[in-house]
Structure 1
Amino acid sequence: MFQFSEGKNFALGRFLLFQLSSLFLLTPLNSQNFSPKTIIANSEELILVTEIRSDKSRTEKVYGASEFLKKEYSPASTFKTYLVLSLIENHIVDPEEKIECADKHIPNSPRLLNLRDALFYSSNDYFEKVFPKLGKEKLDLTLRKIGYLENSKSNSKVEDWWIDLAGLKHGGKIKLTPKAVHSSWSKIFENGYGFSKGIMEEWENTLFWSECTDRSVRVYGKTGSWEGSFWFQGALVKSENDYIIYTILNRNKSGSRTGTINRFYELTGCKVPSLE
């Protein structure tokens, strides 16, 4: 505890105590543990962060290679996030039903995967097997409903994205700016799409990655790797109105899916879950 003598020292002491008390009032301890730390982006890396707080404040920040903001890239397997929404919306799959998949990039393949597993491991085999029950027409309706291609210069019509079944793994011809990719992801946790609570909860459950007990948050995510772009989209959710959204785009020649996952967890201070 500070001790001060009379006169000027006493006045100075009162001033310092006031400043210290004000600091603690303006910076609650729980927010210190939740807010993102200062980010220093690596070369050839773009990071977008949106923070929504319980007091309804909103902050948006961009770090790194700002020149990427002006270009459009394949969303890669982040596209599967919205394919899953269409599967759920149209009641095409039972999220808990397991399907045998044989993707070469998935550890211990062939293995049985449910819907959440298929997103976590970004299985191409799973979605190619279930897609015929959905079909392109229903998927197009979902994409149109959520405005997924609204800001795309490369796709003037929703219907123009299709290549073939194999193109599902990266969204076919779709090209989007990083801000458009980030905005689509952020809207999930803002409940900005207008779907029922049941659909949104089921959708978010498929996007779950891990518990971050050190920060008392749940982590959601989706990877994407295509045409030299390595994406990780993550969300730290403390409560319905208190969360942070991340989109990482790495276009370094030495980039990788695993490296981008690790980068997200490094930035957030959370433990990386088993990727096996």
Structure 2
Amino acid sequence: MFRFSVGKNSAQGRFLLFQLSFLFLLTPLYSQNFSSKTITTNSEELILITEVSSGKPRSEKVYGESEFLKKEYSPASTFKTYLVLSLLENQIIDPDEKIECADKHIPNSPRLLNLRDALFYSSNDYFEKVFPKLGKDKLDITLGKIGYLGNSKLDPKVRDWWIDLASLKHGGRIRLTPKSVHSSWSKIFENGYGLPKDIMEEWKKTLFWSECVDKSANVYGKTGSWEGSFWFQGALVKSQNDYILYTILNRNKSGSRTGTINRFYELVGCKVPSLE
């Protein structure tokens, strides 16, 4: 901050005021740092954002329905993100192998899907077909190792999450707070799980959604829809130390999977890829 004592009615004062006004016009209202932006949320919507940028403090923001933070919800198909990790860790499948799947919600079904396609379209048929080679015991080991289920030894509600094969769609009886869901997502891009580099690289490949040419970044994501919750977890990644992570939870009665996807791309300012 600076001051000048020249009277505003003097010629010099008017000239300085003109210079300051011109400088203000040339200065953007928001800096390139996302944390300085303001988001206007929609009804029944919660948005959690983590921004990591080289040389700047880590930024964590929450917008929207704060009441959602106090409750636990089904992670819905965001759960498949961690199912995929277990499949990769245990070398159950070749990520490039294509399997014919007949999910009704997937366009042009039945169609051949590889592992990345199965996550992108959130195929239930794909994961039900490959799961017998993995089994619940190995999946539980993975979930326990990364802390996804919390302390399963102390919490029987978490320990007994499994219902049947349909549990792969939404995580069975698992109920998590939005902050917990967001934290699990954040650790992927921070390598907070301490996993081998080759596993992390393969895992991220399965989560890839699109290129954002305008921002020289890649987009990663996962959808989830269950029990009136519509999730989208997204990541706009420029480099290892320059990325923004989002968790969007929409519980509006008019909410939808596609609407939540579009909401994420609206927030990051990137073109929505073909969902066909």
TM bin, normalised by shorter chain, reads 0.7 to 0.9
Cα RMSD of the aligned pairs, angstroms, is 2.7
Give the match for residue 272 of structure 1: 272
Paired amino acid for 1:204: K
**Structure 2 counterpart SS, 1:79:** helix
Q: 1:32, 1:274 → 2: CA distance?
A: 28
Residue in 2 that maps onto 1:9: 12
Q: CA-to-partner distance for each residue in 1:93-151, whole Å, 9 max, x for gaps?
A: 10000000000000000000000000000000000000000000000000000000227
Q: Where does 1:241-260 land on structure 2 (aligned, <5 Å)?
A: 241-260=241-260
Q: How much has 1:39 moved relative to structure 2?
A: 1.1
* CA distance in 2 between partners of 1:151 and 1:13 (Å): 64
Report how far residue 252 of structure 1 moved: 0.3
Distance verdict in 2 for CA 1:34–1:46, change over 3 Å: closer
**Does the CA contact (< 8 Å) of 1:149 and 1:155 recur in 2?**
no
For structure 1, list consecutive stretches of 5 or more residues without a partner in the other structure: 1-6
In the TM superposition, residue 155 of structure 1 has moved relative to its aligned partner by: 5.0
Q: Which residue pairs with 1:138 in the alignment?
A: 138
1:207 aligns with 207
Identity, % of aligned positions: 80
Instruction: Write out per-residue CA displacement over residues 3-30 of structure 1, whole angstroms, 9 at most, x where no aligned residue.
Output: xxxx98389859x68xx69x98xx9x9x
Q: How much has 1:57 moved relative to structure 2?
A: 1.8
Cα 1:209–1:33 shift into 2, 3 Å: farther
Partner SS state of residue 32, structure 1: coil
Aligned residue-pair number:
264
Instruction: Give the deviation of 1:63 after TM superposition.
Output: 0.4
Partner residue in 2 for 1:39? 39
Structure 1 partner of 2:7: none
Distance 2:40 2:151 in 1: 28
Taking the aligned partners of 2:252 and 2:128, their CA distance within structure 1 comes to 29
What is the TM-score of this pair, normalised by structure 2? 0.88
1:237 maps to 237
Matched, 1:81 2:81: yes
TM-superposed CA distance for 1:159, in Å, is 3.4
Q: How far apart are 1:37 and its partner, in Å?
A: 4.2
2:109 paired with 1:109: yes
* TM-score, normalised relative to structure 1: 0.88
Runs of 4+ off more than 3 Å: 10-14, 33-37, 154-159
Superimposed CA distance per residue, residues 140-167 of structure 1 (whole angstroms, 9 cap, x where no aligned partner): 0000000002279x95465311000111
What is the 5 A alignment of 1:21-170? 32=32, 37-55=37-55, 57-150=57-150, 155-156=155-156, 159-170=159-170
